[in-house]
């Protein structure tokens, strides 16, 4: 199984976390200059780890010509499979929307130039939707760039927009999908066409039930898999096969090794 979005370098022992619960691949998100370098280092060290590189919307204080040059250089690395995470975040009172928009547009352009998908972070304050609306407004000008709507919130407008945008728009479901009151996320996970669905942990954040409140681990992605399979009335192994194929398609990951004959 593939964890399509994890902050592996945040964990105390990244090496041991990789192999938990039979994961075949992990995408380590490098959403700042430091973490981008860490993600690439881990991807160079371990054959089952791939990296993205970018600048998170809450880290735009680090945006500079030097930062962009460093991230752009890493973006062409053969073990880097995506750009970001980027996007818009209005959760915090000190949101710097103008800076976030500049960084978002730059990373969309970088994704287009490298031919790699952009991982998008979207977060609003409760009962508000300016960040979601802003992401849609920006993406309308970039219809050809593949994107992953990471940790999808269930926002109905963004769901409709993403589906209409075309088959190169994917939706990532994280551990918060398993939370009892996440009704909009449940509805989206049920309704979404299977070929647009990805599974992720966002580890060490958003640990799923039954580990909610604890540090998340890449292997916990199976709890989200089992929850969505039950929501959709599917066999978990069938859902795993589909979501892994989606992950390999959007990130251009190599196919898994063939099983030995007679196995």
pLDDT at 262: 57
User: How many domains, the chain?
Assistant: 1
Per residue of the chain (263 residues), give pLDDT as tens: 999 999 999 999 999 898 787 899 999 999 999 999 999 999 999 999 999 999 999 999 999 999 999 999 999 999 999 999 999 999 987 789 999 999 999 999 999 999 999 999 999 998 889 999 999 999 999 999 999 999 999 999 999 999 999 999 999 999 999 999 999 999 999 999 999 999 999 999 999 999 999 999 999 999 999 999 999 999 999 999 999 999 999 999 998 876 555 54
Instruction: Give Cα 194 to chain centroid, integer Å.
Output: 17
For the CA atoms of 258, 247, 180, 95, the dihedral, rounded to the nearest 10 degrees, stands at 150
89 domain-assigned: yes
Strand order in the sheet with 80-89: 2-6, 25-30, 49-53, 80-89, 118-123, 147-149, 169-173, 197-199
Residue 204 lies in a domain: yes
Residue-range definition of the domain harbouring residue 199? 2-251
Domain assignment present for residue 260? The answer is no
Give the global pTM.
Answer: 0.96
Please give the structure tokens belonging to residue 176.
């918060």
d(CA 55, CA 47): 24
CATH number where 150 lies = 3.20.20.140
Pair of tokens at residue 11: 């964990």
Residue 135 lies in a domain: yes
55 contacts: CB under 8 Å, gap ≥ 6: 31, 32, 33, 62, 63, 67, 71, 86, 103, 107
Is residue 262 in a domain? no
Provide the pLDDT for residue 203: 98
Report d(CA 26, CA 7) in Å as an integer.
Answer: 10
Q: So what's the pLDDT on residue 259?
A: 57
CA 242/CA 262 separation, integer angstroms: 24
Confirm whether 259 is domain-assigned: no
Tell me what pLDDT residue 22 has.
87
What is the C-alpha separation between 63 and 100, in angstroms, rounded?
9
Residue 257 DSSP label = P
Residues in contact with 66: Cβ distance below 8 Å, sequence separation at least 6, in sequence order:
none
Tokens 């969505």 appear where? Answer: 228
Q: What is the pLDDT of residue 20?
A: 80
Under DSSP, is residue 50 helix (H, G, I), strand (E, B) or coil?
Answer: strand
Residue 115: C-alpha distances to residues 2, 3, 44, 83 (Å): 21, 21, 20, 10
Examine residue 29 and state whether it is found in any structural domain, yes or no. Answer: yes
How many CA atoms lie within 13 Å of 158's alpha carbon, on the beta-carbon side? 31
Give the C-alpha separation, 84 to 29, whole Å.
7
Please calculate the CA angle 52-236-259 and round it to the nearest 5 degrees: 70
Distance, CA of 65 to CA of 52 (rounded, Å): 19
257 within some domain:
no
> What is the H or E stretch that residue 6 is in?
strand 2-6
**88 φ, ψ (degrees, to nearest 5):** -130, 140
């Amino acid at each position: 199984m593939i964890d399509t979005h994890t902050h592996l370098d945040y964990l105390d022992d990244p090496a041991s976390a990789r192999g938990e619960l039979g994961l075949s691949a992990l995408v380590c998100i490098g959403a700042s200059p430091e973490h981008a370098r860490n993600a690439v280092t881990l991807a160079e060290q371990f054959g089952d780890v791939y990296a993205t590189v970018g600048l998170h919307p809450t880290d735009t204080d680090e945006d500079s010509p030097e930062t962009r040059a460093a991230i752009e250089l890493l973006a062409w690395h053969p073990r880097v499979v995506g750009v970001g995470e980027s996007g818009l975040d209005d959760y915090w009172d000190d949101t710097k929307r103008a800076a976030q928009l500049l960084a978002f547009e730059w990373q969309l352009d970088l994704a287009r130039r490298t031919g790699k998908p952009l991982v998008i972070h979207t977060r609003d304050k409760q009962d508000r939707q300016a960040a979601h609306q802003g992401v849609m407004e920006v993406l309308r000008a970039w219809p050809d760039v593949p994107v992953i709507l990471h940790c999808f919130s269930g926002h109905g407008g963004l769901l409709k927009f993403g589906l209409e945008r075309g088959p190169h728009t994917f939706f990532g479901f994280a551990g918060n999908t398993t939370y009892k009151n996440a009704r909009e996320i449940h509805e989206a996970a049920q309704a979404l066409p299977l070929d647009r669905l990805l599974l992720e942990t966002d580890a060490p954040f958003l640990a799923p039930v039954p580990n909610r409140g604890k540090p998340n681990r890449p292997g916990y992605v199976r709890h989200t898999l089992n929850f969505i399979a039950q929501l959709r009335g599917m066999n978990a192994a069938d859902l795993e096969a589909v979501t892994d194929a989606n992950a390999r398609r959007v990130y251009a990951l190599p196919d898994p090794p063939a099983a030995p004959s007679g196995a």
